[in-house]
Structure 1
Amino acid sequence: MPSDRREIRGALWRTAAGQRGYFTAAQALEAGYSYQAQRYHAQHGNWAVVDRAIYRFREFDLLPGTQDDDLVRWYLWSKGRAILSHTTALSVHELGTANPSRIHLTVPPGFRRKHDAVVLHRAELVQEEIEQRDGYRVTTPIRAIIECAAAQVDQDIVDSAVAEALERGLATRRRLLHTAQRSGARAELGIERALRAAS
């Protein structure tokens, strides 16, 4: 554990820089900040308190914000267990007209945390269904489309996402239909309708 103050700050800064300035109390502890030191920095305004045990370096507040800033926060809130999914993932991939008012996260079945700003979906995802972004994970474009169809999200949203995914080469008709068939009747019906609309 680094002992010099600059080394400690540098270690935490390197972690936070890959997370748009955010970090958890556990990450601060690992870098060398005791819980007492964490309270000091939060109380004196050196760190912005974002949520319970989640902070952000004040310097990052001066930078232009992006949608990704908030997404990193929710990834850390889940302690790295959540994957951004459904309409939130469509928005990340800039597919279609999805503009969710709440954050959609897919979490493991045993996940217990709750928050009013979050919609939780419980599932075990395989690595091929996940993309790593700067500070968070998100379902792939195909997975995002399929899970929206399975959840019976507004058909116009699914239609627009499918049309753009095909146009941008992010998916093929065959792959979408095959993946939907493996995901159940609701997903298959939603994708069939979207593919007809895109014809």
Structure 2
Amino acid sequence: MPADRRDLRRRLFDLAAGQGGHFTAAQAKSLGYSHQAQAYHVEAGNWWRVDRGLFRLAEWAAGAHDELARWTLWSRGRGVVSHESALSVHGVGEFESQHVHLTVPPGFTMRNNAVELHYAELPADDVSERSGYRVTTPVRTIIDIAANAHDEDQLARAIDEARRGGLVTNRRLRSRAETLDPRAALYIERAIQQAETP
């Protein structure tokens, strides 16, 4: 393989490595892969076509949350993994969902049946960076879950797990919830009291 092709492949791998093995057609084109070259790599089995204009390296060994990088690319970098999906990332609670949950800015117009969208402008303090995607912090995630009035028993268990894991403190959770959403603050207070009851 000529040096320039090896360099091209290395640059693509470096890019995809930070995005769970995924990359867009536009990103590949910006590196030097023409549309014809992209079609060739799909046909040859080097790349998997995940969605329109979205690929994954065939040799990529999947990580636990690589799929979330795919949906971040789908949202053109505007989506933040949140709600039930963020709880899963943080390893907290037993909330299940058949959708990937993303918080997107108001005015976001894209849709996909696999994604449940939530609309909000998230402050930087409520978001943490992961490899290939961003996720709401444990405190913000629990507040978002509480705002939807989920089962209080599950909420209490999730808060207790997050607290025991050192991800949140009751004080920080109460304080941030009162600032963000009074209704969520009420559910969180009830859940904390339930978790503290022997």
Task: State the secondary structure of the residue aligned to 1:198.
Answer: helix
Q: Which residue of 1 aligns with 2:13?
A: 13
Q: Which residue of 1 aligns with 2:128?
A: 131
Q: Is the 8 A contact 1:149 1:187 kept in 2?
A: yes
Higher mean alpha-carbon deviation, 180-189 vs 129-138, is at: 180-189
Q: Which residue of 1 aligns with 2:178?
A: 181
Q: Is the 8 A contact 1:150 1:183 kept in 2?
A: no
Q: Which residue of 2 aligns with 1:84?
A: 81
Q: Which residue of 2 aligns with 1:116?
A: 113
Matches of 1:156 and 1:197, distance apart in 2: 8
Task: State the secondary structure of the residue aligned to 1:96.
Answer: coil
Task: State the secondary structure of the residue aligned to 2:102.
Answer: strand
TM-superposed deviation, 1:49: 0.3
Matches of 2:76 and 2:52, distance apart in 1: 12
Q: Is the 8 A contact 1:9 1:31 kept in 2?
A: no
1:16-31 pair list within 5 angstroms = 16-31=16-31
- Structure 2: gaps (5+ residues): none
Q: Which residue of 1 aligns with 2:40?
A: 40
- Structure 1: gaps (5+ residues): none
TM-score (norm 1): 0.92
TM-score (norm 2): 0.92
Matches of 1:75 and 1:17, distance apart in 2: 14
TM-superposed deviation, 1:54: 0.7
C-alpha offsets along residues 93-114 of structure 1, whole Å, 9 cap, x if unaligned? 0011122221100001121110
Label 1:66 to 1:10 Cα distance change in 2 as closer, same or farther (>3 A): closer
Aligned match of 1:67 in 64, 69, 79?
A: 64
1:89-168 pair list within 5 angstroms = 89-168=86-165
Amino acid in the other structure paired with 2:26: A
Matches of 1:20 and 1:46, distance apart in 2: 16
TM-superposed deviation, 1:133: 0.6
TM-superposed deviation, 1:186: 1.9
Amino acid in the other structure paired with 1:18: G
Q: Which residue of 2 aligns with 1:169?
A: 166
Q: Percent identity?
A: 50
Amino acid in the other structure paired with 2:92: L
Matches of 2:63 and 2:10, distance apart in 1: 24
TM-superposed deviation, 1:155: 2.2
TM-superposed deviation, 1:20: 2.2
Matches of 1:190 and 1:67, distance apart in 2: 31
Higher mean alpha-carbon deviation, 152-161 vs 49-58, is at: 152-161
Task: State the secondary structure of the residue aligned to 1:59.
Answer: coil
Count, aligned residues = 194
Q: Which residue of 2 aligns with 1:53?
A: 53
Matches of 1:154 and 1:52, distance apart in 2: 37
Matches of 1:156 and 1:138, distance apart in 2: 24
Task: State the secondary structure of the residue aligned to 1:4.
Answer: helix
Q: What is the RMSD computed on CA atoms of the aligned residues? A: 1.4
Task: State the secondary structure of the residue aligned to 1:120.
Answer: strand
Q: Is the 8 A contact 1:41 1:47 kept in 2?
A: yes
